[in-house]
Amino acid sequence: MFPEEFARVYRDRGYWTGQTFDDLLRERAAAHGDRIAVVDGADRVSYAQLRDRALRLAAGLHGIGVRRGDRVVVQLPNTAAYFDVVFALFRLGALPVFALPAHRSAEIGYFCAHTEAVAFVTTDVHEGFDHRTLATAAEPATLIVAGDAGGHVRLDSLYADPADVARLPAGPAADEVAFLQLSGGSTGLPKLIPRTHDDYLYSVRASAEICALGPDSIYLTALPVSHNFTMSSPGVLGVLHAGGRIVLAPRPDPATVLPLIAAERVTITAVVPPLALLWLEAVEAAADRPDLSSLAVLQVGGAKLVDTVAARIGPGLGCRLQQVFGMAEGLVNYTRLDDPDEIVLHTQGRPISPDDELRIVDERDEPVPVGEVGHLLTRGPYTIRGYWRAAEHNRTAFTADGFYRTGDLVRLRPDGYLVVEGRAKDQINRGGEKIAAEEVENHLLTHPAVHDAAVVAVPDAYLGERSCAFVVPRPGAAPLTLPALRRHMRERGLAAYKIPDRLQILAAFPVTGVGKVSRRELRAALAATQKG
């Protein structure tokens, strides 16, 4: 994972403490067992109960053969069961692979196959989709279902007796990989991100401090709980570290979330920019202004927040805005709670750690002058040195000396704050949901009427960006329509957010000069036709 000379420094400086996720929960349950850790509707789980549930589930999972080092794909909505499952796996040293509720058979099948998962934990029916239908895609992984299992293994049946807990083998060490997080990616197949207990918990502890979390903090989980932002910036793990309370929202729409903030006296929550705008507009339009007096901080991240919306958040919601620019690969930047408005409204923050190293470089990896836009490269105590089982991709995704190429174009201000100016990677950022152009193109190419395809971002007033598929039809094929193409993608089991929003038919792709155009140049040329 990390070269030994770096690991030594990160330990010496107190970043890596040797604490595992299991240690964290044990310590918190001992310190404030009776306090409520998780609120999921009527279900209110104390720290002691969470610890007990996780251990009994660990024993049950061990009983069906889940072992230290095994991978288990986890796809759960924002429910208390999520915490039981991940802390059970952490106790065993089995690695959760964090799928999103939006993922379908294409993604789940790939995650299970690529990680050789022994089990796939999901729910019964969520937002109208029957997740049990993913069983075939997940095979040979055992399907474990929270809720009505329909003949598969019922999660509820796996909570073993306390006696079995006592017989559990020793758990993992803190320098081992704890889980695999997803990358938004820019390649044909999604990449998986191995995070260790040591490195991740450092980012969690430091984030909790930056965000001033304490035992009185009440964090609303509006985004999917397994998203890296929600998990760790400071997210649900930051709250557990601080001894605070997590309130789970089943979905992030204003009608669900605003009453929950009022009823549970939520103090902090995290959203992507389109949600911030949606909440703002709902509050401004409400005849009866919802009581948001408890809300101290709204974190916004995942995609660039435009200045005009940033300026409306404080006055409109009566809370402090915090911009968060992070990535599941590691580096997370925050504006600080006591920063002046000029910084909070116009920058995407500065790194967590004094040992986060940033390089802003040009196309030849040469540093650009301070204040100029360049590619952001980073290395540090909680940034990965390579994707999981992706040796070839890692040769280009990282520099020879271990810096991660973020693919983001940024400007570093003299005061150390970053401004995100754009992106060099082949990705669409659809309101915080990342889409790899090549992955979608590969699916488009399976349609019999598609000769060639390129997927690019087009500007969108609400989401920031949407995706547009440029398609060159196969000669003689029946005319292509967007609904037909979208149906084809759905039938292939692709997550809905990756399915192109728009379709543009072209007789041929533009050719610049002689010879073959690179896919990158092609996407850039097509995107340019969409501006303005």
| φ, ψ (nearest 5 deg) of residue 280 | -60, -45
Indicate the helix (H) or strand (E) that contains 473: strand 464-473
Nearer to ligand DBH, 79 or 228 (CB): 228
If one counts every other C-beta atom within 10 angstroms of the C-beta of residue 297, the result is: 18
Shortest spacing between CB 302 and ligand DBH, in angstroms = 4
Q: Which does 332 bind (CB under 5 to 8 A by kind): ligand DBH, ligand AMP, none?
A: ligand DBH
Nearer to ligand DBH, 142 or 217 (CB): 217
Nearer to ligand DBH, 205 or 488 (CB): 205
DSSP letter for 133, please.
G
Of the candidate spans 114-122, 146-154, 322-330, 473-481, the one that interacts with ligand DBH by CB under 6 A turns out to be 322-330
- Establish if 351 lies at the interface with ligand DBH (CB under 6 A): no
Residue from 172, 326, 380, 473 in contact with ligand DBH (CB under 6 A): 326
3-state secondary structure (DSSP) of residue 285:
helix
Q: Which does 280 bind (CB under 5 to 8 A by kind): ligand DBH, ligand AMP, none?
A: none
Residue from 38, 328, 480, 522 in contact with ligand DBH (CB under 6 A): 328
Number of amino acids touching ligand AMP (CB under 6 A):
21
Which residues, at least 6 apart from 406, have a Cβ–Cβ distance to it below 8 Å?
327, 329, 331, 375, 376, 377, 378
For 280-402, strand residue ranges (E) read 297-301, 320-327, 330-334, 350-351, 357-361, 373-379
Nearer to ligand AMP, 424 or 482 (CB): 424
Look up residue 421 and give its two tokens.
């100016």
d(Cα 240, Cα 235) in Å, to the nearest integer?
9
Residue from 327, 360, 410, 480 in contact with ligand DBH (CB under 6 A): 327
Nearer to ligand DBH, 142 or 232 (CB): 232
Residue from 328, 352, 358, 485 in contact with ligand AMP (CB under 6 A): 328
Which residues, at least 6 apart from 377, have a Cβ–Cβ distance to it below 8 Å?
358, 359, 360, 361, 365, 399, 403, 404, 405, 406
Residue from 332, 397, 480, 526 in contact with ligand DBH (CB under 6 A): 332
- The string over 143-165, giving b where at least 16 C-beta atoms fall within 10 Å of a residue's C-beta and e elsewhere, is bbbbbebeebbebeebbbeeebb
- Establish if 222 lies at the interface with ligand DBH (CB under 6 A): no
- Establish if 420 lies at the interface with ligand AMP (CB under 6 A): yes
Look up residue 110 and give its two tokens.
């790939």
Shortest spacing between CB 65 and ligand DBH, in angstroms = 32
Question: Which positions from 107 through 136 interact with ligand AMP, judged by CB under 6 A?
Answer: none
| Distances in whole angstroms, Cα of residue 434 to Cα of each of 272, 281, 461, 495 | 12, 24, 17, 12
- Establish if 325 lies at the interface with ligand AMP (CB under 6 A): yes
Residues 349/323, Cβ–Cβ less than 8 Å: yes
| Distances in whole angstroms, Cα of residue 373 to Cα of each of 261, 351, 420 | 39, 17, 9
Nearer to ligand AMP, 328 or 352 (CB): 328
User: Cα 492 to the chain's mean position, in Å?
Assistant: 23
Question: Which positions from 339 through 398 interact with ligand AMP, judged by CB under 6 A?
Answer: 348
Question: Which positions from 223 through 262 interact with ligand DBH, judged by CB under 6 A?
Answer: 228-229, 232-233
| Distances in whole angstroms, Cα of residue 478 to Cα of each of 44, 351, 453 | 56, 52, 16
Residue from 40, 408, 426, 441 in contact with ligand AMP (CB under 6 A): 408
| Distances in whole angstroms, Cα of residue 219 to Cα of each of 210, 222, 223, 449 | 15, 9, 12, 48
Q: Count the helices and strands in the chain (H runs, E runs).
A: 18, 27
The greatest distance separating any two alpha carbons of the chain, rounded to the nearest whole angstrom, comes to 73
Q: Which residue is nearest to ligand AMP (CB)?
A: 184
Contact letters for ligand DBH, residues 293-312 (x by CB under 6 A): --------xx----------
- Establish if 267 lies at the interface with ligand AMP (CB under 6 A): no
Number of amino acids touching ligand DBH (CB under 6 A):
11
Nearer to ligand DBH, 66 or 223 (CB): 223
Judged by the rule CB under 6 A, the positions of this chain that interact with ligand DBH are: 228-229, 232-233, 301-302, 324, 326-328, 332
Judged by the rule CB under 6 A, the positions of this chain that interact with ligand AMP are: 183-184, 228, 301-304, 323-329, 348, 406, 408, 420, 423, 429, 434
